[in-house]
Amino acid sequence: MVRPASRGCVYLALLTLFAPPASQHTLRDAADHAHLLFGTAVRAQRLSEAAYASTLAREFNLLEPEDAMKWETLRPDPKSFDFSQADRIVDFAIAHGMKVRGHTLVWHRQNPPWLAEGHYTPAQLAEILEKHIKTVVRHYRGRVFAWDVINEALDEPVLGSLRSTLWYDQPGIGSAQKGTAYIERCFRWAHEADPEALLFYNEAEAETMNPKSDAVYAMVQDFRRRGVPLDGVGLEMHISNLHPDMASISANIGRFTALGVQVHITELDVSLAVGANGDPTPEDLRLQAEVYRQIATACLSHPGCTAIQTWGFTDKYSWIGSHSRGKQGAALPFDRDYFPKPAYEALRGALEQSKGH
């Protein structure tokens, strides 16, 4: 494969700033050295693409489905489950010695029309949700080591408040206006289905010390005190600021791990402004690499931070371009042609320099 000339010179110049001397190690090698899980979100339909599959197997020791375990994919109708896409990802991971995170059992988005428009009563919804959680978790018992049980249950307009959703209060599962009671029920159902799986609460815009992460912290503290089976917190970290508050991010990771739970960085990407050709500036690539390095270093500085995942790994399939209508992109460690970017070398360097968890 020939590297595109328009990006080749830029990458070659920048790679020398971040590559460890004479290193031939992959990112996966470096993660194993650091005793850290380093993974990425995966699309089942891309596994038939040779470059996609070979890069995954070579560079990562952890996989998570992007959409294959969400309701709209798993539940084509009220009476059946379709595990085909998710099974393909799990089978790929097992064949290549990788661990699997399950994502996600409960979310307010990407639900099938039969569910979202079904006008169920709270009792009916509770029955549907309990059956869904237990069926999915039991199907992957012993193969999925950790689950995002609840995804993004807190709101953005009023940071720290519970989001009004089908599961909480529209009409909810019978725990409306009872705070985090519906979340607790979901964790208990998942634990009943697989007592060995690690159970995570996953949240966006909670990577720094802020009202949303304060609310997550209060919930985790309460759950831990009362014996609710919550094992970890997922911090998504979709970053668009090339100068994030790293002191706040590290302190936030530290306060969660001090509660005795694990932290996983679950959906990391660092988006850049791009031109009409989809390429960023050399300076932004340098800054992006530094952000990736700092995030990895922050995680490695806390023994309870045990996994880092990027949301996809190649710019070829990143969600950032469509989400920003082409204004941003180039958010991931590999470019559109699967060549490692400075961000890749920065991550690998940070992991190789770690003394291990």
d(CA 249, CA 264): 13
Q: Is the Cβ–Cβ distance between 259 and 305 less than 8 Å? A: no
Exposure class string for 299-312: b at 16+ Cβ within 10 A, else e: bbebebbbbbbbbb
Runs of H (alpha helix) within the chain: 5-18, 27-33, 50-59, 71-74, 84-95, 113-116, 122-139, 181-193, 211-226, 246-258, 282-300, 320-323, 342-353
Q: Is the Cβ–Cβ distance between 14 and 339 less than 8 Å? A: no
Pairing of strands 262-270, 305-310: parallel
Q: Is the Cβ–Cβ distance between 202 and 265 less than 8 Å? A: no
Active-site residue identified among 64, 66, 236, 267: 267
d(CA 154, CA 159): 7
Active-site residue identified among 66, 130, 152, 207: 152
The three-state DSSP-derived secondary structure of 126-167 is HHHHHHHHHHHHHHCCCCCCEEEEEECCECCCCCCCECCCCC
DSSP 3-state helix, strand, coil percentages of the chain (rounded to 5)?
45, 15, 40
152 has catalytic annotation? yes
192 has catalytic annotation? no
Question: Six-digit token pair at 240?
Answer: 């668009």
d(CA 290, CA 245): 13
Question: Six-digit token pair at 5?
Answer: 């000339």
- Name every residue whose Cβ is closer than 8 Å to that of residue 197 and which is 6 or more positions away in sequence: 102, 137, 141, 144, 145, 146, 147, 190, 191
d(CA 208, CA 253): 8
| Active site members | 152, 267
